[in-house]
Structures are given as structure tokens and as C-alpha cells.
């Protein structure tokens, strides 16, 4: 136990630290422009003199990397007329066959640089992939974008357009912090029939439908309770056990549930 406690403390501390995309390069630092070998054997620079330089670290065969590459390929084609320099970086641990297959499947047209010995990975401190970095003309890191399942390419495009002076700070902030979804809508109204039905100003067909369903809910509540109590599996019984003495209540509840979902889709329409 004397040696276990330090390990637990270290694991807790390390687990609570944030996973920075670039551990050794923070926003505002200058990124060293290096030349790396491409898939076809030639040399290509990581950065250029373009207004915006975008470099993407990915991993062949990874689902998230494949999704990001497909989205970034579309974004690169949309911004092909702008002063944007695009490159993708992959570790040398992967074979050329795997890299070529990923490039063909995702449809990217940007140069793919091979990081020999993961030197660039270590220099920037790349911990998680995929991750996208964006620098300005002076090779100063403006932003980085780790993987997110929602609005990944939208955020990357907004940061590039903001660097190109196409959108303002307020427009960029709106993309980075979209408004949260508010309660309401057809589903919210349909699921709150006893509270909202029959209010003044509600159309008459909606009031009639909601009132009819609302009257049925109190009558079916006892059946729902007894069915819930009696539908628990007995010891040694089948997995999907149906109580024989409550069969009529179960059938009535099933029909009510089917009708309720049908009404949910068209009630309050």
C-alpha cells in the first residue's frame, strides 16, 4: 500500500490535466517551417507565405481522421481561390500503401507530408489526432482545432475566413459559441398535453386532440402501474415473461402507446 498511493495520486493528477492539442506550441508562438518528404518522394514545406497556413495531423485507418479529411477536402476546394496553404501530416509509422488508400478514399488534393521518426509530432507535442493548426503569414500559430463530432469543419472555415478578414470577430464568436437549443417546438408541446392543452389562442383541432388524449392518461395510469409491477421477470421464468392475468391490460397499454406516438407526430401540427 505504501507504493500504491503515489501511483494513484499521480494517475489522478495526470487524468485531471487538460489534453492540449499542441503541448509544446501555444497560440501566438512561431511554428518552425520545416521541409518534409511527401508520399511521392519529393520535398514540401510545412508552411508558406500565404495569408493562412493550415496543417492537419491525421492517422490512416482511424474513423475520426477519415471523417475530418473528407470534410477538410470539401473546405479546401471551397477556399481554393483564397490565399490558403493546405498540407496534411502523417507519421512515418504507417506504410505508403495505407497512406495512399486513405488519400484516395477521402479525396484530399493537398500535399501529404510524412513525418520521419515523428520529429514534428514531438516538436509540437501532438498528443491526439486528428488536429488542425492554423498560422498566419508570419508563421505564428493563430488557432488549433482538436477533433469534435459537431461543427468541426465549420469552425476551421470560420477561423480561416477570420484570418482572411472576410468575417468579423462577432461572426467568428457566433460560430465558436452557437446559441443553445431552447425548449419548445412540436415535441415539447406534444409531451406536455395536460399542462398546455386547451389554452386560449390554441387552434380548436389541437385542443380537441389534446383534450381527448389527456382524458385517457388518468384512466390508463392504474393499468400502467399494475402492468409495471406484474411484468417483472420471475425467478426461473423466461426472459420475456408476459403475465397471463394481466394480459388484457398489457394489450390495452400497447395499443395506447402506439396511438400516443401517432398522435405525437400530428398533434399540435
Query: What is the DSSP code string of 152-169?
Result: HHHHHHHHHHHHTTSS-H
CA 205 to the chain's CA centroid: 40
Q: Which pLDDT belongs to residue 237?
A: 46
CA 46 to the chain's CA centroid: 28
Q: Does pTM surpass 0.85? A: no
Q: Where are the domains of the chain?
A: 19-176, 185-232+241-266
Task: Annotate 51-88 with three-state secondary structure.
Answer: CEEEEEECCCCCHHHHHHHHHHHHHHHHCCCCCEEEEE
CATH topology assigned to domain 19-176: Glutaredoxin (3.40.30)
Q: 3-class SS at 103?
A: helix
- Distance, first Cα to last Cα, the chain: 64
- pLDDT per residue, tens digit, the chain (269 aa), is 444 444 444 444 334 334 456 666 788 889 999 999 998 889 999 999 999 999 999 999 999 999 999 999 999 999 999 999 999 999 999 999 999 999 999 999 999 999 999 999 988 988 888 999 999 999 999 998 889 888 899 999 999 999 999 999 999 999 988 877 555 444 444 444 444 444 444 444 444 555 555 555 555 555 554 544 444 444 544 444 444 545 566 666 677 677 766 666 555 44
Residue whose cell numbers read 406484474: 230
Q: Which pLDDT belongs to residue 238?
A: 44
User: In which order are the strands placed within the sheet that holds 84-91?
Assistant: 43-45, 35-38, 112-115, 84-91, 52-57, 131-135, 141-146
Q: Which pLDDT belongs to residue 161?
A: 94
Q: Which pLDDT belongs to residue 19?
A: 47
Q: Which pLDDT belongs to residue 239?
A: 42
Q: Cβ–Cβ contacts within 10 Å for residue 187, how many?
A: 12
Q: Which pLDDT belongs to residue 240?
A: 46
Amino acid at each position: 500500500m505504501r507504493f500504491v498511493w503515489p501511483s494513484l495520486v499521480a494517475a489522478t493528477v495526470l487524468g485531471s490535466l487538460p489534453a492540449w492539442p499542441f503541448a509544446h506550441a501555444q497560440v501566438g508562438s512561431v511554428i518552425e517551417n520545416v521541409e518534409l518528404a511527401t508520399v511521392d518522394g519529393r520535398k514540401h514545406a510545412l508552411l508558406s507565405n500565404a495569408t493562412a497556413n493550415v496543417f492537419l495531423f491525421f492517422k490512416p485507418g482511424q474513423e475520426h481522421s477519415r471523417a475530418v479529411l473528407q470534410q477538410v477536402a470539401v473546405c479546401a476546394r471551397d477556399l481554393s481561390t483564397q490565399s490558403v496553404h493546405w498540407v496534411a501530416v502523417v507519421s512515418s509509422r504507417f506504410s505508403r500503401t495505407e497512406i495512399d488508400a486513405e488519400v484516395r478514399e477521402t479525396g484530399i488534393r493537398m500535399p501529404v507530408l510524412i513525418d520521419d521518426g515523428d520529429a514534428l509530432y514531438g516538436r509540437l507535442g501532438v498528443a491526439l489526432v486528428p488536429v488542425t493548426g492554423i498560422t498566419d503569414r508570419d508563421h505564428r500559430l493563430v488557432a488549433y482545432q482538436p477533433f469534435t463530432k459537431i461543427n468541426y469543419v465549420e469552425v476551421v472555415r470560420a477561423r480561416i475566413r477570420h484570418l482572411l478578414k472576410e468575417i468579423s470577430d462577432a461572426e467568428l464568436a457566433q460560430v465558436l459559441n452557437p446559441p443553445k437549443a431552447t425548449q419548445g417546438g412540436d415535441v415539447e408541446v406534444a409531451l406536455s398535453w395536460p399542462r398546455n392543452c386547451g389554452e386560449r389562442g390554441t387552434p380548436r383541432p389541437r385542443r380537441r386532440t389534446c383534450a381527448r388524449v389527456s382524458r385517457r392518461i388518468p384512466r390508463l395510469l392504474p393499468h400502467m402501474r399494475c402492468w409495471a409491477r406484474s411484468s417483472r421477470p420471475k425467478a426461473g421464468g423466461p426472459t420475456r415473461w408476459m403475465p397471463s392475468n394481466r394480459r388484457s391490460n398489457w394489450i390495452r397499454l400497447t395499443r395506447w402507446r402506439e396511438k400516443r406516438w401517432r398522435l405525437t407526430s400530428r398533434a399540435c401540427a
